[in-house]
Amino acid sequence: MTMVRIGDVWDRTVDVLRGRTAILIGIALLTLVLPGIVAGALGTVVPLQDPFIVAVPLVRLATLVLLVLGVLAMTAVASDPAVDRAQGLRIAAQRLLAALGVLIALVLAALALFIPAGVLFRLSGATLSGAGTLDMSHAASGYAAGAGLLVLLAALLGLWLSARIVPLFGIVVNERRGFGALRRSLALTKGSTLKLIGVLILYFILTTVAMLAATMVSGVVARLALGGDATAGVAFVVAVVRTLISAGATTVQSVFYARFYVAAIEREQRMAPLA
């Protein structure tokens, strides 16, 4: 059985990033960078007080929706060389509700994976502090160990599922599917799961290291430039840098996922006469 070659997908990803740089940057600036900067400014350089504090979660929700819109647009652009920025954004707007519905279903499924562990943690006597940290000092060891094992299993299952839905947005955009995109995604990733898991782990490591390094460096530089007392200004600079790193990583990820979708479709078409 012919498999999707991840090396070829990376090569095509690089080709798209080089050939369609201006289009991708334009989409990223509009849907990822600018909303992220606005969200980062709230509470730092733009202090909020009651009753305007309610604007923070609304802005964050809008930022998340724009993120999904941007990923859909970049997926359309990376999937079809005939799609430009305006067309990509138009396609993304048309498929936004379908994509949000699928994402909500995935979030609910992810939460459900951790419910058994949460129940065991509760039975163990562990408590959650006001700061959001888990206090295990009075927890029963048996329940706690079982809960920890369930968390590990849920995380591994989540990683497996993440690999199996790599072409999800490619399907939503190009095949105009809704919840049916989930089953279709499982079919297209058959035989490539382990390779995709490796890609996801590598992506996570590189992104985390880049984010931590950029945050530390930008924080130090901002303190030197603005002064140690400019807490809000330093926080805003760090937020901007984090937004830029995140936007770049999201762009690369979106293009890779789109090119994997295209490669999987090409494999499926090659195998069709043999079925």
- Counting the structural domains of the chain, the total is 1
97-150 pLDDT per residue, tens:
999 999 999 999 888 888 887 777 777 666 666 555 666 666 666 766 777 788
Whether 223 maps to a domain, the answer reads: yes
Whether 185 maps to a domain, the answer reads: yes
Range of the domain at 167: 6-270
Which of 23-32, 55-64, 247-256 has the weakest average pLDDT? Answer: 55-64
Whether 142 maps to a domain, the answer reads: yes
Would you tell me the crossing angle of helices 180-188 and 231-271 to the nearest 10 degrees?
70
**Which pTM does this prediction carry?**
0.87
Whether 148 maps to a domain, the answer reads: yes
Whether 275 maps to a domain, the answer reads: no
Whether 258 maps to a domain, the answer reads: yes
Whether 121 maps to a domain, the answer reads: yes
Alpha-carbon gap, residue 196 to 5, rounded angstroms: 10
Whether 1 maps to a domain, the answer reads: no
